[in-house]
Amino acid sequence: MAVANALGSGLLQSPAFLPFLPRIARVLLGEDLRLDSAPAFWCGEPTALSHVVAHLDRLMIRPAWRGAGPAMGVGKRLRGDDREEFLSLLRAHPEHFVAQELVSPGHTPILSGADLVPRPSVLRGYAVLAKGDYLVMPGGLSLAAADANAPIIAVAEGALAKDLWVRSEGPVGHFSLMPPATHSVGLSRGGADLPSRSADNLFWLGRYAERAEAMARLGRHLLGRLADVGDAGFTSSPSSALATMFEVLLSA
């Protein structure tokens, strides 16, 4: 089994890191970013919050991490009661949101029916870790907005997605960092290879073992409370008290 995106990759994609990328690069790498990112503001800082409220129409609002809040999108889309409702939510929980200035993307021609029309587009590149360093892969994923005036280029907004290939001047070798499909997994006690089915079974075993342990801890705590001498409910009707305990366990 091989993992293309290492564990923790999703965390690094959290918008909460966007305002601090320049500082992170200087601290960890000792250098500035080679490619500047669009200015971003974590609303948990009072100065940033004031700036976001004052310039909401030219910012894109995103939850700082998955589940932190609703995906609000472009601020200028908020009107009337929706705008006031969001501002109230923002002021109540500013640390849950990150704002980023909108960037005017470049345009690329796409085929619409029988015509070539310009559409805003972006390119998403990829890099892989190899021999202690990162290699940027040629090509990437190209996204083009379906609407010429779309403020956001995203698949959720109806953007068109296509793989972008870079033509080579000569023959290209079929080299891959992934093991070949014909690679057989040797069964051994100390091997590094693990069949995907075994890994899946181990994952679910660990997950349900954690649930069982949590329920056992809760049950031990409830039994201790119900067995308290001062608990009149338990001393007068132990059967009903135990029934209540099991109802709590089953709902956990």
- Go through 54-90 and write b for each residue having 16 or more CB atoms within 10 A of its CB, e for each that does not: eebeebbbbbbbeebbeebbbbeebeeeeeeebeeeb
CB 110 within 8 A of CB 119: yes
| Residues 6 or more apart in contact with residue 177 via CB below 8 angstroms | 128, 130
Among 118, 114, 79, 72, residue whose Cα is nearest residue 97: 72
Cα distance between residue 250 and residue 252, in whole Å: 5
Q: Where are the beta strands (DSSP E) in the chain?
A: 40-42, 59-63, 73-74, 97-101, 106-112, 115-124, 127-130, 133-136, 140-144, 160-164
Model confidence pLDDT, tens digit, residues 83-96 = 888 889 889 999 99
One-letter amino acid at 68 equals A
CB 86 within 8 A of CB 76: no
Q: For residue 52, what pLDDT is reported?
A: 92
Among 204, 207, 200, residue whose Cα is nearest residue 1: 200
CB 215 within 8 A of CB 21: no
Q: Which two tokens stand for residue 61?
A: 């609002």
- What does the pLDDT profile of the chain (252 residues) look like in tens digits? 556 666 777 777 788 888 998 898 899 889 998 888 889 999 999 999 999 999 988 898 888 887 777 776 788 778 888 888 888 988 999 999 999 998 888 888 888 888 888 888 888 888 887 777 888 888 899 999 888 777 778 777 778 888 988 888 888 777 776 767 777 766 666 556 667 777 888 888 888 888 888 888 887 777 777 666 444 444 445 555 556 655 655 555
